[in-house]
Structure 1
Amino acid sequence: MSIVSTDRPGFELPMRFLLAFRVLIDELHAELARRGHADMRPMHGIVLQAITRGGSTAADLGRLLAVSKQAAGKTIDGLERLGYVHRVPDPHDTRRKIVRLTERGADSLEQSARIFDELRARWARELGEDRLRALEDDLRRMTPPDLFRLDVPGWFGGMG
């Protein structure tokens, strides 16, 4: 006997997860804008996270994000123009440039972490802490343990 629900089509589950993600990210960016980071975009946050997790050059970032070195370099150029990162010479290889967060870049990540905590607290108030914890526990059970899998840009087709 099959356990297929007729009132909940299978495609709705990933779409609801995508919508929940979108709601959280849109709310995050609206609040980031109010806190002085109006130029931040969702992909910027993923790239800044990749930099803090070992993406020290455009090639490193490309590997972490599963995009080309050129695509990573283009995004780094944009983040540099916005003041979120800067490049410094690699002391071990003068051909390479190391990408570092600026104070502004670090602030955007700190603000994002605070805002995500605030959003989670709001969801806990709306849904109830027990229900939200159960949802998080279920998601942990159904997803890989690496919370910072950063290859989403490449999986979605690049950062173009």
Structure 2
Amino acid sequence: MAEPGAKSSGSAVAGFELPMLLFAGFRSIIDELHRELAERGYPDTRPAYGYALQAIGRDGATASEIGRRLGVSKQAAGKTVEKLEGLGYVERVDDPEDGRRKLVRLTARGVDILVKSAEGFDRLRAEWVRVLGADRVRAMEEDLRMMVPASAFRLDAAGWFNG
């Protein structure tokens, strides 16, 4: 097995390296983003919360809808919503279209963390551009868009990882 961070000569690269390098790149970006968010007043956030906040979206969603979007049960989605509500990122309100249902909506704090996350992602991409160069980063993104099906852009990563 290759040592972490070791450079490959380009010949006879083990097949497992590509997914591991892609995941390690993803993980390094997410970990750095969360360090930044902690410094900016969000020390309690976790990567899974970002997926959940995206699943809730601008218009809000029911626990069942959140569960479907995340690929988890309604009960698991409910637990995540409880945690997010306790942290002040979301609130539950009566659904204006059906008084029997509760709608989960982002609070101002929830919107703010999404804005700060987007700013953080922009800063981190700029760092990759600084180190690798704009052409290489752009080419990498184009290559990944070509190889990754559009259906891969889903919010159910946490559920997928947990099986």
Correspondent of 1:63 among 62, 68, 76: 68
Cα deviation for residue 148 of structure 1 reads: 4.0
Tell me, yes or no, if structure 1 residue 22 matches structure 2 residue 27.
yes
Residue 156 of structure 2 corresponds to 151
Tell me, yes or no, if structure 1 residue 46 matches structure 2 residue 57.
no
Residue 122 of structure 1 corresponds to 127
Alpha carbons 1:54, 1:60 under 8 Å: kept = no
2-structure distance, mates of 1:148, 1:36: 28
Cα deviation for residue 144 of structure 1 reads: 1.7
Residue 139 of structure 1 corresponds to 144
Residue 116 of structure 2 corresponds to 111
Calculate the TM-score normalised by the size of structure 1. Answer: 0.91
1:108 is matched by which residue type in structure 2?
A: I
2-structure distance, mates of 1:54, 1:38: 26
Runs (5+) with no aligned partner, structure 2:
1-9
Identity of aligned pairs, percent? 60
Residue 80 of structure 2 corresponds to 75
Cα deviation for residue 55 of structure 1 reads: 5.7
Alpha carbons 2:51, 2:156 under 8 Å: kept = no
The 3 A distance-change label for structure 1 pair 65 and 30 is same
2-structure distance, mates of 1:110, 1:134: 26
- Structure 1 vs Structure 2 CA RMSD: 1.6
Cα deviation for residue 20 of structure 1 reads: 0.5
Calculate the TM-score normalised by the size of structure 2. Answer: 0.89
2-structure distance, mates of 1:63, 1:77: 17
1:11-47, Cα deviation, whole Å (9 max, x unpaired): 0110001100110000000000111111110000010
Cα deviation for residue 151 of structure 1 reads: 1.7
Runs (5+) with no aligned partner, structure 1:
none
Alpha carbons 1:62, 1:69 under 8 Å: kept = yes
How many residues are matched?
A: 154
3-state SS of the aligned residue for 1:10?
Answer: coil
2-structure distance, mates of 1:53, 1:137: 28
Alpha carbons 2:63, 2:74 under 8 Å: kept = yes
Alpha carbons 1:55, 1:64 under 8 Å: kept = no
1:24 is matched by which residue type in structure 2?
A: I
